[in-house]
């Protein structure tokens, strides 16, 4: 189950890359920029601003997922709604009440629904794709990989949550000489990680916090899994890039960032060299996706991370021996 294949990416590994986005994630980060990636199944996104009220989505073959609401406007039907799970609060603190989102039952009706909408007001996030389909699509960009030193990056969602597919793709691209990277939150069991270590991809690993309570409040996940997997990757000499989303009220304070940087700097480095870390400043570009999913966006619009603070924290990290960039 994937929800996008993005071409010509220059911020997800070396060179020009094609990114395959896996659907499903064990975490529920309050600031997630791909909220449509969290649920494992297909989801319906509806943008009323693009709706031309043609009523195509109200036909019987549309599966009953849309209706006219009390105001006479076309909207997702209440009977198709279910809770998506807790979304964090604006401060990355207490989880909010579960928000009403949309996951089709049965999912097979959703592709037909999207095809009926001529204005693209309805979008479906999530589709089944075989490894062969994904490989064929990615290999269309082989010339760009060869020229730029790029390759394919598996992102999400969480690629390790679909371990069999990930292993098949890593093996197939290794045979083709295509460089692979895996972007992961590492909030998975040790076995899931161990199963793909032999392929030796570049790891773009999230390091969101080093305080267990803050991590659980902001993401709903178990930090001990993440820490153990980071140590395992370090001990095996994996090529890692730490990616730190810098989130106001969650980890942008000096104490939190110091804990993150000290943890990264203290991990074993069998191959030597400086640990690489990207500080990724918070942005609210995903707010429209939350609205389309029927979920409240948990942060006030216009919120930003202080640039001087980021620069100061980056310098503190460099003093610890980290190779740090701001923005990836």
DSSP letters of 108-166? GGHHHHHHH-TTS-EEEE-B---HHHHHHHHGGGHHHHHHHT-EEEEESS-GGGGHHHH
164-217 pLDDT, tens digit each: 999 999 999 999 999 999 999 999 999 999 999 999 999 999 999 999 999 999
170 and 51 in a single domain? The answer is: no
257 and 179 in a single domain? The answer is: yes
Range 58-61 contact pairs with CB under 8 angstroms and sequence separation of 24 or more: 59/116, 61/112, 61/116
pLDDT at 109: 63
Query: Which whole number is the average pLDDT over 117-131?
Result: 94
27 and 49 in a single domain? The answer is: no
Tokens of 198: 């032999």
Which residue in the block uniquely carries the two structure tokens 């794709």?
A: 129
Rounded-to-integer distance, Cα 187 and Cα 170, Å: 20
Domain of 59, CATH number, reads: 3.30.70
Rounded-to-integer distance, Cα 305 and Cα 310, Å: 7
Domain tally for the chain? 2
pLDDT at 323: 97
64 and 192 in a single domain? The answer is: no
72 and 62 in a single domain? The answer is: yes
pLDDT at 231: 97
Tokens of 106: 């049965």
Domain termination site, one of 101, 125, 149: 125
Is residue 90's pLDDT more than 80?
no
Tokens of 250: 């969650």
Domain termination site, one of 76, 100, 125: 125
Q: Which domain holds residue 230?
A: 2-36+127-326
pLDDT at 221: 96
pLDDT at 77: 86
- Output 224 or 93, whichever has higher pLDDT: 224
Rounded-to-integer distance, Cα 111 and Cα 5, Å: 17
87: CB partners within 8 A, 6+ apart: 28, 30, 35, 95, 96, 98, 99, 295, 296, 298
Domain termination site, one of 66, 96, 125: 125
Query: Which whole number is the average pLDDT over 250-267?
Result: 97
Q: Which of 65-69, 157-161, 266-270, 300-304 has the highest mean pLDDT?
A: 157-161
53 and 29 in a single domain? The answer is: no
The region of weakest confidence among 103-117, 147-161, 197-211 is 103-117
274 and 145 in a single domain? The answer is: yes
Instruction: Work out the pLDDT band at 78, boundaries 50, 70, 90.
Output: low
Domain of 203, CATH number, reads: 3.20.20.70
Query: Which whole number is the average pLDDT over 109-118?
Result: 82
CB 20 within 8 A of CB 182: no
Q: How many CB atoms lie within 10 A of CB 38?
A: 25
187 and 106 in a single domain? The answer is: no
301 and 250 in a single domain? The answer is: yes
The mean pLDDT value of the chain amounts to 89
Is residue 297's pLDDT more than 70?
yes
158 and 270 in a single domain? The answer is: yes
Rounded-to-integer distance, Cα 4 and Cα 22, Å: 8
83 and 196 in a single domain? The answer is: no
206 and 71 in a single domain? The answer is: no
Is residue 256's pLDDT more than 90?
yes
CB 259 within 8 A of CB 296: no
pLDDT at 110: 73
CA distances in angstroms from 226 to 79, 188, 223, listed in the order given: 37, 7, 5
Percent of the chain with pLDDT over 90: 82
Instruction: Work out the pLDDT band at 325, boundaries 50, 70, 90.
Output: very high
Query: Which whole number is the average pLDDT over 230-246?
Result: 97
Instruction: Work out the pLDDT band at 61, boundaries 50, 70, 90.
Output: confident
Classify residue 164 as exposed, middle or buried by CB count within 10 Å of its CB (0-12, 13-18, 19+).
exposed
Percent of the chain with pLDDT over 70: 90
**What angle, rounded to 10 degrees, do the helices at 163-175 and 131-138 form?**
40
Instruction: Work out the pLDDT band at 75, boundaries 50, 70, 90.
Output: very high
């Amino acid at each position: 189950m994937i929800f996008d294949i993005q071409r010509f990416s220059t911020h997800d590994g070396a060179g020009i890359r094609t990114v395959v986005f896996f659907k499903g994630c064990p975490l529920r980060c309050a600031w997630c920029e791909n909220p449509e990636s969290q649920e494992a199944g297909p989801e319906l996104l509806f943008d009323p601003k693009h709706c031309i009220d043609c009523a195509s989505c109200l036909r019987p073959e549309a599966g009953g997922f849309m209706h006219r609401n009390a105001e006479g406007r076309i909207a997702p039907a209440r009977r198709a709604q279910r809770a998506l799970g807790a979304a964090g609060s604006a401060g990355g603190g207490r989880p909010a009440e579960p928000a009403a989102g949309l996951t089709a039952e049965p999912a097979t009706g959703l592709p037909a629904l999207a095809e009926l909408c001529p204005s693209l007001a309805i979008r479906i996030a999530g589709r089944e794709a075989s490894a062969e389909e994904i490989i064929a699509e990615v290999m269309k960009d082989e010339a760009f990989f060869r020229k730029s030193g790029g390759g394919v990056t598996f992102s999400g969602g969480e690629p390790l949550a679909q371990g069999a597919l990930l292993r098949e793709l890593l093996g197939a691209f290794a045979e083709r000489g295509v460089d692979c990277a895996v972007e992961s939150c590492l909030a998975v069991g040790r076995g899931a990680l161990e199963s793909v270590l032999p392929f030796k991809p570049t790891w773009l690993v999230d390091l969101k916090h080093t305080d267990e309570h803050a991590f659980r409040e902001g993401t709903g996940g178990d930090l001990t899994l993440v820490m153990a997997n980071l140590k395992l990757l370090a001990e095996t000499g994996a090529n890692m890039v730490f990616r730190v989303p810098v989130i106001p009220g969650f980890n942008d304070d000096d104490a939190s960032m110091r804990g993150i940087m000290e943890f990264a700097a203290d991990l074993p480095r069998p191959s030597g060299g400086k640990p690489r870390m990207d500080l990724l400043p918070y942005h609210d570009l995903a707010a429209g996706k939350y609205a389309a999913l029927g979920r409240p966006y948990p942060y006030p619009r216009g919120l930003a991370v202080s640039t001087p603070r980021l620069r100061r924290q980056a310098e503190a990290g460099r003093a610890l021996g980290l190779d740090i960039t701001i923005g990836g």
